Chains A and B, each alone.
Chain A
Amino acid sequence: MNEEELNSVPQSQFDFMALRKPMAVFSMVLVLVSIISLAVNGLQFGLDFTGGSLVEVEYSQEQPMEQIRQTLVESGYESAIVQTFGSPTDIMVRLAETHTATLGDDVLAALRAGSGGAEVTLLRSEFVGAQVGDELREQGGLGMLFALGVVMLYVAMRFQFKFSVGAVVALGHDVLIVLGLFSLLKLDFDLTVLAAILAVIGYSLNDTIVVADRIRENFRKLRKGDAVEIINHSLNETLGRTLITSLTTVLVLLALFYFGGEMIHGFATALLIGVFVGTYSSVYVASNVLLAMKVVREDLLPPVKEDPAEIDDRP
């Protein structure tokens, strides 16, 4: 293979790194806003994490919400939160009450009695004990940290320490922003959203590694140019792939978002946000960290072998 030929610059060359300072500020602002929102608003934890009860029913005809609420209050469920989901005939009732063997059925019976002739079908009823909720929250948080740790280790092993810091900062950035948006928009955070966030970690990592792989390759291959130029070059080379993969993933996620139904909505939302943030972060966050840590060619050269003949052979 011919060295000079591979050095040729691709046709489209966008100077990503020229924008790196404003983008760094942009990222920091996003992360800061997310942290503030998380601190002030917190997350709207779903039933999985808070514990409590939930009953979802479907009415055969639309009912005024006020009337449903009134029915529940009269039956002794003063703390009930009534909301629609999906269509106006689908009603979700959330209760903070602790569990009794018949709570779901009692609520259903109360709703039927007060429905004024409309048929009421039970779609779903859930109860999660407070302790189970706490445990799930703890497990989820631990899982997320553990995932980040394992990723950092793997990247440090396969690439280099500076890359693993870059990857983990990028992942932390993505996770925080997705969480921050969920907190800002007051979206329900349940188990499927947690799964989505772990999937975001996987996805964003995928992106970051593809870029890192190219940066490593170019550092070894291209003799000319400083770190900024090489990173720019690598980003341009991988840009096509990054955009196409993001596009196909967004396509399927849109299918899930619009056709997947209520139970999967939060999942699709989190992943959609995650794909956008993840794509952006693999371009700007990971590379920025690499530059900030002053990555140099020597970091990425294959380890020097003991055999002196090998060293002599190096050009």
Chain B
Amino acid sequence: MLNKYPLWKNLLIVLVVLIGGIYAAPNLYPDDYAVQVSGASTTIELDQRALDRALQSLDQAKVAYRGAEVLEKGLLIRVGSSEEQLRAKAEISRALGDNYVTALNLAATTPDWLTAIGAGPMKLGLDLRGGVHFLMEVDMAAAVAQRLDVYVSEIKTQLRSERVRYRSVDHGNDGSLQIKFATQEARDEGHSLLSKEFREFRLTDLDSAGEFFVGVNLNPSKIAEIEDYAIKQNLTTIRNRVNELGVAEPLVQRQGRNRIVIQLPGVQDTAAAKRILGKTANLEFRLEAAPDAPRSSTESYEFREAGRPAADIEKDIIITGSSVSNAQANFDENGQPQVSITLDSNGGKLMNRVTRNAIKRRMAVLFIEHKTRTRYEKVDGVDVERRIPYVEKKIISLATIQSALGNSFRITGLDGAGESTELALLLRAGALAAPIYFVEERTVGPSLGQQNIDLGVTSVQIGMALVLCFMLVFYRVFGLVANVALLLNLALLTAAMSMLSATLTLPGIAGIVLTVGMAVDANVLIFSRIKEELRNGLPPQSAINSGYDRAFSTIFDANITTLLVAVILFAVGTGPVKGFAVTLSLGIIFSMFTAITVTRALVNQIYGGRKINKLSIGWGA
């Protein structure tokens, strides 16, 4: 029979509508303002007792709370308003002390039965929630140069142990190393030894003015490995620092070859965030210069703490901060403060190789910070600001080596717990593989976030209302059917965004608004076709059937091409623009279902399977 859907098709539509409805539902429940408490380190237990202490402090300060729970990720205390949230945070952090990190958060109020089936609300992007977005770039050239620095002493040790006579190992202009040999034989010997020992080297022979060199470069796979390592270590360090900041749901993610994205929703003190994240530091472990060492092999550095005289240390680097996997302040058997240091396996090997021959000598730890200073220069009579990056190196520890050191060792003899904490902090902060710089930063104040939500919701509502009214007036019953499909389209879009945990951004809302405008296009195409067929004298039932049939290929072609463009937009765009592409593509996909299948089912229910003389499809039929 014409215009009758089989039962299974109708049931399928009902099923999709139901699922869409259920998974879109969590977005109807507004979020609670909440304070989230987590431990400053993993050893801190977050139990009922801590929660009781927090709640007690709130009771004393007369801050009302809506609920409190102990979750896997920490304690969650819900309050009524954003002012109460700020007060609650202050009270709780005062009551719990430094071992706990308190953060502002928004807690979903999804009912349990919805949570049980995995439903939850959409995430809001930073432009809607307020917060900070950083893009940081790791200086890969510096990472590679650092690694070559470490190789200098390894190469020397290797050549010496095989009794190959070399003159010097220096940096070339292009970031490579130049090893100078006295004779051609020594050079050839050195070349074959190095190529055997260091498979990651690319060696080139150079002769100039009777001197013999071997140029050392790293091969591409080694460079890729170093870069990968540099990014990973930076990621870990930044994650730790972000945890120090106490942000509820931070995002720290690699982007591309050498960048890291950091998103801190709800952060209000952006200055503190930048200070902590922006610290770029590194470490170098070197031996103190022997009294009889030639001046060309030593350098003099000052201590970080004021009032200690500068010390001479060797130029050779044993290891850098990239080998340090952990540093912690604690106490030794006698209750004296100490700092325990853990190295990675390679670092441990290098440390052992050097220190076993240097017992009773002292080892210095250099703390290196990358900073910029601002200079004003006159260019054509105008003061032009120039920022000059510079490197500051200070000694943070100079301790006597008591025995050969390995993967883990400790620095003792510190003046009190304060010093050990400070030293451990510096060591950890310096455990960065490569310097890192801010290349992008976006801060959205909390008031603007709320304002953006309001504006977005208003424009969706108004745009929606205009389109719904227009369709109803213009297409009557068919318009009503299209409107139902449009609303369903929005519900499905919301459900899909929630299920995919996609982030809703302001351009994302723009994508939804645009979808609303364009989703009706499919129905307009179908209805125009039906009208045309009616004008051509077809009876209503055949007109409906042929209208849907003939419009399909047009709708399909038009939507596929738009979808292609949306996918390209997703691939090219960053951040908020991606959000736009996501909502636009989902909207297009769902509009194919709602505007064709769902409206057909509804039209079939209304008109199908009976004799009718006239369709309520508006003017021009």
Q: Residues of A at under 8 Å CB distance from B?
A: 1, 5-6, 8, 10-11, 56, 58, 97-102, 104-105, 121-129, 131-132, 136, 139-140, 142-143, 146-147, 150-151, 154-155, 158, 191-192, 194-195, 198-199, 201-203, 205-206, 209-210, 213-214, 237-238, 240-241, 244-245, 247-256, 258-261, 263-264, 267-268, 271
Beta-carbon contact of A203 and B466 below 8 Å: no
Beta-carbon contact of B577 and A245 below 8 Å: no
* Shortest distance from the beta carbon of A249 to any chain B beta carbon, whole Å: 4
Beta-carbon contact of A264 and B507 below 8 Å: yes
**A129-B137, A247-B470, A251-B466 given. 9 additional CB < 8 A pairs?**
A129-B438, A132-B440, A195-B573, A198-B569, A199-B584, A259-B462, A260-B455, A260-B510, A271-B514
A194 to chain B: which residues have CB within 8 Å? 573, 577
A101 to chain B: which residues have CB within 8 Å? 271, 274-275, 278, 438
* Shortest distance from the beta carbon of A179 to any chain B beta carbon, whole Å: 17
B447 to chain A: which residues have CB within 8 Å? 58, 121, 123
| B568 in the interface (beta carbon within 8 A) | yes
- A157, B443: Cα distance in complex, Å: 46
Q: Which of A98, A151, A250, A267 contacts B561 (CB 8 A)?
A: A151
Beta-carbon contact of A125 and B443 below 8 Å: yes
Beta-carbon contact of B444 and A255 below 8 Å: no
Which residues in chain B, 552-591, are within 8 Å of chain A measured between CB atoms? 553-554, 557-562, 564-566, 568-569, 571-574, 576-577, 580-581, 584
Q: Residues of B at under 8 Å CB distance from A?
A: 127, 135, 137, 270-271, 274-275, 278, 372, 385, 387, 437-445, 447-448, 451-452, 455-456, 458-460, 462-464, 466-467, 470-471, 474, 506-507, 509-510, 513-514, 516-518, 520-521, 524-525, 528, 531-532, 535-537, 546, 553-554, 557-562, 564-566, 568-569, 571-574, 576-577, 580-581, 584, 620
A252 to chain B: which residues have CB within 8 Å? 463-464, 466-467, 513-514, 516-517
Of all chain A residues, the one with the shortest Cβ separation from B274 is A101
Beta-carbon contact of B445 and A123 below 8 Å: yes
- A68, B195: Cα distance in complex, Å: 65
* Shortest distance from the beta carbon of A235 to any chain B beta carbon, whole Å: 13
Beta-carbon contact of A202 and B577 below 8 Å: no
A209 to chain B: which residues have CB within 8 Å? 554, 557-558, 561
* Shortest distance from the beta carbon of B486 to any chain A beta carbon, whole Å: 10
**Nearest 8 pairs between A and B by C-beta?**
A143-B572, A252-B463, A255-B463, A129-B439, A261-B455, A249-B517, A252-B517, A202-B562
Q: Which of A132, A140, A264 contacts B135 (CB 8 A)?
A: A132
Task: Given the known inter-chain contacts A97-B385, A122-B445, please indicate yes or no for A210 contacting B525, CB distance below 8 A.
Answer: yes
Q: Which of A125, A206, A254, A264 contacts B506 (CB 8 A)?
A: A264
> Can you list 17 residue pairs at the A/B interface with Cβ under 8 Å?
A6-B536, A101-B271, A105-B270, A124-B445, A129-B437, A140-B572, A143-B569, A191-B573, A191-B574, A205-B565, A206-B561, A241-B525, A245-B524, A249-B517, A255-B463, A264-B506, A264-B510
B interface majority secondary structure: helix
Of all chain B residues, the one with the shortest Cβ separation from A102 is B271
- A28, B100: Cα distance in complex, Å: 68
Q: Which of B387, B462, B531, B546 contacts A255 (CB 8 A)?
A: B462
Task: Given the known inter-chain contacts A205-B558, A256-B513, A261-B455, please indicate yes or no for A245 contacting B568, CB distance below 8 A.
Answer: no
Beta-carbon contact of A198 and B441 below 8 Å: no
Beta-carbon contact of A192 and B387 below 8 Å: no
A124 to chain B: which residues have CB within 8 Å? 442-445, 448
* Shortest distance from the beta carbon of B467 to any chain A beta carbon, whole Å: 5
- A228, B554: Cα distance in complex, Å: 22
Beta-carbon contact of B452 and A263 below 8 Å: yes
Q: Which of B275, B525, B571, B577 contacts A192 (CB 8 A)?
A: B577
Task: Given the known inter-chain contacts A124-B443, A259-B462, please indicate yes or no for A213 contacting B562, CB distance below 8 A.
Answer: no
B444 to chain A: which residues have CB within 8 Å? 123-124
Beta-carbon contact of A104 and B443 below 8 Å: yes
B270 to chain A: which residues have CB within 8 Å? 104-105, 125
* Shortest distance from the beta carbon of A7 to any chain B beta carbon, whole Å: 10
Task: Given the known inter-chain contacts A104-B443, A256-B463, A261-B455, please indicate yes or no for A146 contacting B568, CB distance below 8 A.
Answer: yes
* Shortest distance from the beta carbon of B258 to any chain A beta carbon, whole Å: 11
Of all chain A residues, the one with the shortest Cβ separation from B256 is A135
Beta-carbon contact of A123 and B448 below 8 Å: yes
Task: Given the known inter-chain contacts A202-B566, A241-B524, A255-B463, please indicate yes or no for A191 contacting B576, CB distance below 8 A.
Answer: yes
- A97, B441: Cα distance in complex, Å: 13
* Shortest distance from the beta carbon of A250 to any chain B beta carbon, whole Å: 8
Beta-carbon contact of B562 and A203 below 8 Å: yes
Of all chain A residues, the one with the shortest Cβ separation from B271 is A105
* Shortest distance from the beta carbon of B541 to any chain A beta carbon, whole Å: 14
- A6, B533: Cα distance in complex, Å: 9
Of all chain A residues, the one with the shortest Cβ separation from B385 is A97
Beta-carbon contact of A99 and B438 below 8 Å: yes
Centre residue among A99, A140, A256 by max chain B CB count within 10 A:
A256
Of all chain A residues, the one with the shortest Cβ separation from B572 is A143
Beta-carbon contact of B452 and A205 below 8 Å: no
Task: Given the known inter-chain contacts A122-B445, A132-B439, A261-B451, please indicate yes or no for A249 contacting B536, CB distance below 8 A.
Answer: no
Beta-carbon contact of A121 and B566 below 8 Å: no
- A248, B470: Cα distance in complex, Å: 8
Task: Given the known inter-chain contacts A209-B557, A240-B528, please indicate yes or no for A198 contacting B442, CB distance below 8 A.
Answer: no
Beta-carbon contact of A202 and B443 below 8 Å: no
A1 to chain B: which residues have CB within 8 Å? 546
A123 to chain B: which residues have CB within 8 Å? 444-445, 447-448
A195 to chain B: which residues have CB within 8 Å? 507, 569, 573, 577, 580-581
Beta-carbon contact of B565 and A151 below 8 Å: yes
Beta-carbon contact of B557 and A158 below 8 Å: yes
- A247, B569: Cα distance in complex, Å: 25
B531 to chain A: which residues have CB within 8 Å? 240
Beta-carbon contact of B536 and A5 below 8 Å: yes
Beta-carbon contact of A259 and B455 below 8 Å: yes
- A10, B68: Cα distance in complex, Å: 70
- A116, B438: Cα distance in complex, Å: 33
A128 to chain B: which residues have CB within 8 Å? 439-441
B462 to chain A: which residues have CB within 8 Å? 255, 259
- A105, B532: Cα distance in complex, Å: 63
Of all chain B residues, the one with the shortest Cβ separation from A100 is B372
Beta-carbon contact of B525 and A8 below 8 Å: no
Beta-carbon contact of A255 and B513 below 8 Å: yes
